[in-house]
Structures are given as structure tokens and as C-alpha cells.
Amino acid sequence: MIWDYQPPWWLLGGNAQTIYSAKLAQRYVGAKPRWQRERWDTQDGDFVDVDWRNDEIALPDDAPLLVLFHGLEGSSSSHYAQAFAQEAKLRGWHMAVPHFRGCSGELNWAPRAYHSGDFEEVGWMLSRFQMLHQGPLFAVGISLGGNALMRWAGEVGHSANQVLQAIASVCSPIDLTASGNAIDTGFNKAVYARMFLATMKPRAMQKLAQFPGLFDPLELRAAKTLYAFDNVFTAPLHGFNSTDDYWDRASAKPGLSRIQVPALVLNARNDPFIPESCLPTQGQVSDLVTLWQPEQGGHVGFASGTFPADLQEMPWAVMEWMTQNG
């Protein structure tokens, strides 16, 4: 199966596709997806919140389960999570969205947050889902979540097959240095980096109130780029020496050649966040990795159909690929 996204004639350019899909495109048909929250205690005395799709009709216990790892500052309310929830419902799949620490609406307790290479956390979550669920397990990661998921798959190799059937990443910055530099430049810096920092900086200051002295608040407030924010907050809190060290070690791209579970890597070539020049080639990935690199799509911006357009084509294509290859 090969999917090549074609946008509506009136939705042109990576920025338009990105912004329209996030803000205006139809995410679901009928009732809004409903979630039932479950709290998991972590091994370090913290917690993560998991939202399970609460379907109107009970599904068999052994129906497939889709686990969706959200993107930077995302949640089960994100446009892509709701679109995948719609597709999971149509297929009769269970679905769950585990929130990275601090992203469920309540500040987590430990002196840490989450990051793009958080593969240990991803592995722990997947093992927990495997223990809880009787049927086939699939996972998709969006943007940051996809990098962490692919980072996990590259790290564990053949062991991934013992946990799940197939994985997919959607618009993930698998080369964090290239993507970080892109988002901190020009229009991207003015719009996207500013948007992310508007929520990340206040949450970091809440973390500082929990743990006085954790970082320098003056440096944090002065941060105007993701690079600067990561240098003050993300990198040191998670064991990295600097932003450069973090972006280098957390990138999933070098590990794609070691993946030993069916994996789909979907990246639009006009993604404002992810330069086309950094996308992987088939020679850089294992035989079990499929690359989809349509010319259009922006950053998780695959709206389709007639005006006002909807978001169902991409989730359908991704889940169809996983069904056929898992």
C-alpha cells in the first residue's frame, strides 16, 4: 500500500495546511470523542494520565488497541487525536492516549517533564498496555511522540515484536537538530515557536515553584527560541549536557536502520518544521521501515475533501497500513 496525499485545490502550502488542519478542519463526525481517564503511578513516584476512548458500544476485549503518543504540548484533545479516535471507532478498535508528564492538565510531581527522546517512558507505557490488553497492539506517534516511539523501536530492536504488531510516526522531527533550527527561524519562530513557548514557559515556572533552584528563571524568561528553552529547561532536567547534546542523542533517525518491527514513517516534504533535506532515504532505514513522503501535507496538516475539509484520510491511511503490515 502506498498513500500520496493530495490537498484540496484551495489549501496550498505547508503553513496553510498546518494551520487550517489544526484550527478549522473537521476532526470527527457526529458526537465528540469521549475519554475515560486512568492514572498510572510511575516507578519514580510520579504519575501519567491515560485517556481511553469511551465508546458508545462495548468492544470485544481482544479487539485491536491503538496507542497514540501525542506531540509537543499535545493531549487527547489535539486535532489529530480526535481524528484518530474517529477512525478507531469506525474500525472497532480500542484506543488510548497516554499523556507525557505534565500534559494532561495537571502538573506532574517529579522534577522532570518530557522530551523528544523519552524512549524509556514510551517503552514503560507500551509494556503496561501489553499487560492490560488481550488483543493486538499498535502504536502511532505524532510529531514529538513519533520521534520518541521510533527512538524506542531503534533502541530495543527485535524485542519490539514481543510488545506490538506495528508502529507509525506522523510528521516526526527524527532529526531534531534540523527541525529545531527550522522552527527557530523566520516565520516559524514568530508563529510556531512563540505558540509553543507560550505554554511551555509558564509550565516550567510552575515546576520551578515546586522545586526552587531547579533552573535560572531569568534565563528561562529570556528564552525566545526552543533552542534557548531546551538549554535552560529540557536538556538539564533530563540528563543532557546542552540543547546540542539533547537534539543529537534524542533523534530517532540514526536508529531507523535498527528497527525490527513493521514501521511507517510519514513526513510531508513541505512540513514547515522539518526540512525536506533531513528526511531519511530508504538506504538509511531497515527493510521493515516504510517511508511515505508526499509532496504536500504540512505539519500534521493532511486535511482532505470538500470545504470545510476533514482530517479522516490520513488516520485511515496510517491505520490501514498498520492493519496490512502488522
Enumerate the active-site residues. Answer: 143, 271, 299
22: alpha, beta or left? (left if phi > 0; alpha if psi -120 to 50):
alpha
Q: Which parts of 157-216 fold into alpha helices (H)?
A: 176-183, 186-188, 194-210
List the strands of the sheet with 137-142, edge to edge. 35-41, 47-53, 94-98, 65-69, 137-142, 166-170, 263-266, 289-292
User: Which residues have a Cβ under 8 Å from the Cβ of 287 and sit 6 or more positions away?
Assistant: none
Residues in the chain: 326
Q: Give strand pairing partners of 18.
A: none
Phi/psi of residue 100, each to 5°?
Answer: -65, 160
310 secondary structure, DSSP code: B
Q: Give strand pairing partners of 170.
A: 142, 266
State how far the Cα of 78 lies from the Cα of 100, in Å rounded to an integer.
13
Chain Cα centroid distance, residue 56: 26
